[in-house]
Amino acid sequence: MVVVGADTTESIKTFEFGKAFPDRLFQLGIAEPNMISVAAGLAAAGKIPFASTYSVFGAAHTYNIIRQNVAYTNLNVKIFCSHAGLTVGPDGATQQINEDIALMRGIPRMTVLVPADGPETAKCVDAAAAMKGPVYCRFSRTNVPTVTSPEDGFTIGKARIMRDGSDVTLIGCGIMVARCIEAAALLDRDGVGARVINLSTVKPLDVAMIDRAARETGAIVTAEEHTVVHGIGGAVASAVGSSHPVPLAYIGVQDVFGESGEADELLTKYGLTAKKIAEAAMGIVKRR
Amino acid sequence: MVEVSEELIAGLKRKAVTLRKHIIRMTHNAQSGHPGGSMSACDIVTALYFHVLRVDPKNPTWPERDRFVLSKGHACPVWYAALAERGFFPVEELMTFRKLNSRLQGHPEFGTTPGVENAAGAEGQGLSFSVGLALAARMDHKAWRTYCLLGDGEQDVGQTWEAAMAASKYGLDSLTAFIDRNGIQQEGRTEDIMPLEPLAEKWEAFNWHVLTIDGHDFRQILAAIEEAQRTRGRPTAVIARTVKGKGVSFMENKIKYHGAATSDEELKLALAELEAMEAAF
């Protein structure tokens, strides 16, 4: 295993890997296209490279490099990016990418992971290293409540039921899983039983789990710290639409750019809260 | 300097004519593709595949092989022609170039074509990929070398210079970059589209060992490779002055043949010229 970085190794902590393995961390400067292609070359010669920086640079500035040098070339490159979504906060819209899941899930051969918390991020590292082929994993800069436990199993391609219920399903990824769990508690008070699914693998999608949720609960709300265009809402809608159509609602960034503000302020302003998830659920439960 | 025999040079010259005939036939058969930049790079590719590279056509993924990376992916006809002549796949397969279900894609695909080491087509990625290969070779204390062929149009791409900095940062002396300096890119002369000169000084400023040669003179090509192999602590850039469309008089230095195949009539004329050249050896 090797790590390539782009002048962000301290803030995303890959420098810790460099302390343990000084010969295996390559600092390549503010040059993300080069970073991705170097990772591809290392992979072509048998290494397992983790390319790691902020999502806006690692996934967006590098898009065609990832497409040609990683995915089309089908190499064992793991792109692990932090600072995704609105919760980057005060740095503002240029640093807050809400489009990376959309970009990455559109690329053939790409596995896309969005862990819900710290323990699950660690499992994503292990699982990505253990599988062959390109992986994109995105996570946030902000502190995230822990909702999974180190003992929980983790398999790429398998979603996980965090809480059962039969009236509606809340499907979240990343930091929104915790908010889905909160929303389920709110719904409980109103007598609505919500199932919560942690969709930590966006691609390949756990179609069986989503189909079951549609059939058993009859309504689905998706929640993501990402634009509602081509994110997990789109993925779930396309799966449900071709198997068992049910009413859907999409919580996410509504096709706009973010702005400066503290993480929680932004999540509230842009409607990414437990309250909004619960309201959306109430709305579609009535339409079942 | 290593003695280079007349016999070796004559053999390489003959092989280069064979490759040029393949390039003309393949692109004519497909009625598309990029003959001009394939022919300008032809002598460099011939020298590498028929004298320098340690590769095994029977075992294309032999871990100890030298790596050849084609960054200017549109010039893949010359790569396919060299690989076929070297025995990586049958020469007859060259006529499937750019056709449906072929292993010989319009731009190189990794994993399908025996001997192809990288996917290319979007310019400017090959040198970075080569840096990754050279870093891996050094980590594993391997003797294999990496040769990357870039176009001069590709010098416009920012990533080329990101890679140049990274290669010199890590002192990758197992990496040699050939720049096919034919002076023409898709829409015109490089100096009109985006001036590159002084190009050698740019590479020198990036801390590379820089050589400027005639890219159609086999003695100069082989001497440059030998010097690159002897150079320690720095990667070597070989700026190879070449002629776009080299080998067929009416194609030489013509912008049109960057991305246009020959007509039926031109095919006959081109092959006649190349065959006359062959007969003269």
φ, ψ of residue B259 to 5 degrees: the values are -135, 35
Residue B45 within any structural domain of the chain: yes
Residues 6+ apart with CB under 8 A from A64: B122
* pLDDT for B2 beyond 70: no
**Would you say A116 and A243 are in contact if contact means Cβ atoms under 8 Å apart?**
no
B164, closest residue in chain A (CA to CA): A34
Q: How far is B178 from chain A (nearest CA, A)?
A: 18
The number of folded domains in chain B is 1
- The CATH class of the A2-138 domain is alpha beta
Token output for A46: 């048998």
Do A41 and B134 lie within an 8 Å CB cutoff? yes
pLDDT in tens, A117-158: 999 999 999 999 999 999 999 999 999 999 999 889 999 999
Residues 6+ apart with CB under 8 A from B244: B36, B37, B39, B40, B182, B183, B184, B251, B252, B253, B254, B255, B257, B258
* Domain limits for position B93: 6-280
Q: How far apart are CA B258 and CA B94, in angstroms?
A: 20
Residues 6+ apart with CB under 8 A from A252: A98, A222, A223, A224, A225, A226, A227, A228, A231, A233, A272
Find residues 185-214 of chain B whose CB sits inside 8 Å of chain A.
none
Residue B1 within any structural domain of the chain: no
* pLDDT for B280 beyond 90: no
Q: How far is A113 from chain B (nearest CA, A)?
A: 25
Residue B59 within any structural domain of the chain: yes
Mean pLDDT taken over chain B: 97
pLDDT in tens, B223-278: 999 999 999 999 999 999 999 999 999 999 999 999 999 999 999 999 999 999 99
Q: What pLDDT does A285 receive? A: 96
In this structure, which amino acid lies at residue A30? I
Do A41 and B125 lie within an 8 Å CB cutoff? no
* pLDDT for B3 beyond 80: no
Q: Which whole-number Å values give the CA distances from A29 to A19, A32, A163, B161, B226, in the listed order?
A: 18, 8, 44, 12, 32
B107, closest residue in chain A (CA to CA): A68
Q: What pLDDT does B246 receive? A: 98
Do A65 and B63 lie within an 8 Å CB cutoff? no
Q: What pLDDT does A150 receive? A: 87
Q: How far apart are CA A57 and CA A95, in angstroms?
A: 9
pLDDT in tens, B116-151: 999 999 999 999 999 999 999 999 999 999 999 999
Do A44 and B118 lie within an 8 Å CB cutoff? yes
- The CATH class of the A160-287 domain is alpha beta
Do A44 and B128 lie within an 8 Å CB cutoff? no
* pLDDT for B1 beyond 60: no
Residue B181 within any structural domain of the chain: yes
| Cβ atoms within 10 Å, residue A254 | 11
Q: Which residues of chain A have pLDDT under 70?
A: none
Q: Which residues of B touch A34 (CB under 8 A)?
A: 128, 131, 159, 162-163, 166
Total number of residues shown for chain A: 288
Mean pLDDT taken over chain A: 97
**Would you say B223 and B1 are in contact if contact means Cβ atoms under 8 Å apart?**
yes
**Where in the sequence of chain A do the CATH 3.40.50.920 domains occur?**
160-287
Q: How far apart are CA A265 and CA A222, in angstroms?
A: 21
Task: Give the domain CATH number at B149.
Answer: 3.40.50.970
Find residues 63-92 of chain B whose CB sits inside 8 Å of chain A.
63
Residue B177 within any structural domain of the chain: yes
Instruction: Name the one residue in this structure whose structure tokens are 């919500």.
Output: A194
Q: Which residues of B touch A24 (CB under 8 A)?
A: 139
B159, closest residue in chain A (CA to CA): A34
Do A34 and B110 lie within an 8 Å CB cutoff? no
**Which of the 8 DSSP states describes residue B96?**
G
Q: How far apart are CA A92 and CA A83, in angstroms?
A: 11
pLDDT in tens, B166-207: 999 999 999 999 999 999 999 999 999 999 999 999 999 999
